[in-house]
Amino acid sequence: MDSRRASIQQHAVRSGYDTKALPKRLSMISVLGLSFAIMAVPYGLSTTFYVTLPNGQCVSIIWGWILVSLISLCIAASLAEICAVYPTAGGVYHWSAILCTPKYAAVVSFVDGWLTLVGNWTVTLSINFGGAQLILSGLTIYDESFIATPWQTVLMFWAVTLLCVLVNIFGVRWLDFINQACIWWTGASMVIILITLSATADVGRHSADYVFTHYDASASGWGDGWSFFVGLLQPAYVLTGYGMVASMCEEVQHPEREVPKAMVLSVAAAGLTGIVYILPILFTLPDVEYLLGFSQPIGLLFKELELQVNAIILSALVNCALACIYFGSSAAFNSFTGVATICLSASYCVPILVSLIRKRELVKSSSYSLGKFGPFINGVTIVWIFFAIVIFCMPVAIPVTPSTMNYASVVFVFFAVVAAIWYIVYGRTHFKGPGSMDLEGEAPITGTPAGDGNGIVEKGNGHNSNGTDSSEGISKTV
């Protein structure tokens, strides 16, 4: 075991990692809270009902959630299996290089790094943009005639983004508390929503048959079968981001044990939380045609700096610039959620696909091994992600106009072109990547190793491979 660990540590040093860069002060509960905060089930579902209401309504909402929850468990389990062997703060970007052959390690990690970067940018953008819409939507509780203008929405988005920037720069010492508080806050919210909606809703009061079997996709313009798949953007958007917690490996005791556990448990907890949140809403759902008249219908259902400040500011500026798409397209939020889901899902797919192509040799001894079910679970993950890339580029409803077009494919292709040009101009000759893990005669680290519980971490700046803060998801918890 010690020789295996020594080989991993030597690889970390060659890759520019410092295994004792930060104090190991975070617990598994804190990492679980962070992953839970990134998904933020009540928030994520609340801001994306506009996707499922025209695309199947009850059946798409409840059964789509259950289906994607099971698929997300497959993805989380596949990532956890890799993380248990290589607990690196670089996450999927580093795993892609480690699992790949030396010949292709640099280009594969470069591609995955860009997918992760764009995914982080757009998921933060969609979170803050949806949060701005949610705040403005709350005004409809007091004035149902209020409809936010594009300028009001974008200005509110900029305000929310500024708040998140300030918290990430000046309030980083409170992130551990926020991560853990998120679990209790979400749990309390579930209880309050369940009781309040069930007891006071003055419309709806539907039967169980309606909640579990009612399907109406007529408002979408799509065929009944395809409309259900388009509606899967809602649960897929919510149930993503859990792979980001790998960036916490440098701050957790025994990350090869605690971080994989947090990944899988957070997805399972989010899946159950979603069901508890969805059911009371469906049992008391108002008239859907009326709800579809609002851009965010959820309001009507409830009547010392160690950070890379430049990276945070750059991310905020990119988000603020992309938000201007809303001036030209009322469906901009759909584009943001689509790109975020596509990029993050694709970034998870890369190391899993590489591992499967190499016959899973480097993860067979993982302490979280999927065993004989590994190829099947990995296969389900890869097939789903490729399918998701297609359906999440589709508009929510047809016929399509310039203002309702889903620009996810446009934004995705734009960043792909930028990444390709950057690789040709700079990366091809200068980017070496973290390197592959072709260790002859050495098995990867497994189980709980002896020693001080240090993971393999990036050189002591407390950030992941794309230069962002290792504490992702703050936007959802603020």
Q: Which residues contact 220 (CB under 8 A, 6 or more apart)?
A: 54, 55, 227, 230, 396, 397, 398
Instruction: Count the residues in the chain.
Output: 478
Write down the pLDDT at residue 440: 43
Q: Average pLDDT for residues 145-162, to the nearest whole number? A: 88
Note the pLDDT tens digit of each residue in 425-442.
888 888 877 765 554 444
Query: Is the model's pLDDT at 466 over the cut of 50?
Result: no
Write down the pLDDT at residue 478: 30
Report the alpha-carbon distance of residue 397 to residue 51 in Å, rounded.
9
Q: Which residues contact 372 (CB under 8 A, 6 or more apart)?
A: none
Q: Please give the structure tokens belonging to residue 63.
A: 């059964």
Report the alpha-carbon distance of residue 279 to residue 282 in Å, rounded.
5
Specify which residues 456 forms β-bridges with: 88
374 compared with 181, residue with greater pLDDT? 374
Write down the pLDDT at residue 236: 92
Q: Average pLDDT for residues 301-330, to the nearest whole number? A: 72
Write down the pLDDT at residue 468: 38
Write down the pLDDT at residue 439: 44
What is the pTM for the complete model shown?
Answer: 0.78
Determine which helix (DSSP H) or strand (DSSP E) holds 454, and give its type and residue range: none
**DSSP 8-state class, residue 443:** P
Lowest mean pLDDT among 76-80, 115-119, 375-379, 473-477: 473-477
Note the pLDDT tens digit of each residue in 246-267.
877 777 778 888 889 888 988 9
Note the pLDDT tens digit of each residue in 175-220.
778 777 777 887 787 788 778 777 777 666 788 999 999 999 888 8
Percent above pLDDT 90 for the chain: 22
Domains located in the chain, CATH noted: 29-434 (1.20.1740.10)
Q: Average pLDDT for residues 451-471, to the nearest whole number? A: 37
Determine which helix (DSSP H) or strand (DSSP E) holds 252, and give its type and residue range: none
43 compared with 64, residue with greater pLDDT? 64
Report the alpha-carbon distance of residue 32 to residue 83 in Å, rounded.
15
Note the pLDDT tens digit of each residue in 270-282.
999 899 889 988 8
Q: Average pLDDT for residues 348-353, to the nearest whole number? A: 94
Q: Average pLDDT for residues 331-356, to the nearest whole number? A: 86
Helix orientation angle between 150-170 and 309-323, rounded to the nearest 10 degrees: 170
Query: Is the model's pLDDT at 458 over the cut of 80?
Result: no
Query: Is the model's pLDDT at 285 over the cut of 70?
Result: yes
| Residue 383 confidence class, pLDDT cut points 50, 70, 90 | very high
Report the alpha-carbon distance of residue 236 to residue 371 in Å, rounded.
26
Report the alpha-carbon distance of residue 96 to residue 105 in Å, rounded.
7
Q: Average pLDDT for residues 450-462, to the nearest whole number? A: 37
Write down the pLDDT at residue 319: 84
Write down the pLDDT at residue 174: 80
Q: Average pLDDT for residues 30-57, to the nearest whole number? A: 83
197 compared with 467, residue with greater pLDDT? 197
Write down the pLDDT at residue 305: 39
Q: Average pLDDT for residues 154-180, to the nearest whole number? A: 84
Q: Average pLDDT for residues 293-318, to the nearest whole number? A: 65
Burial class (CB in 10 A: 0-12, 13-18, 19+), 252: buried
Write down the pLDDT at residue 437: 55
Query: Is the model's pLDDT at 392 over the cut of 70?
Result: yes
Average pLDDT, the chain: 78
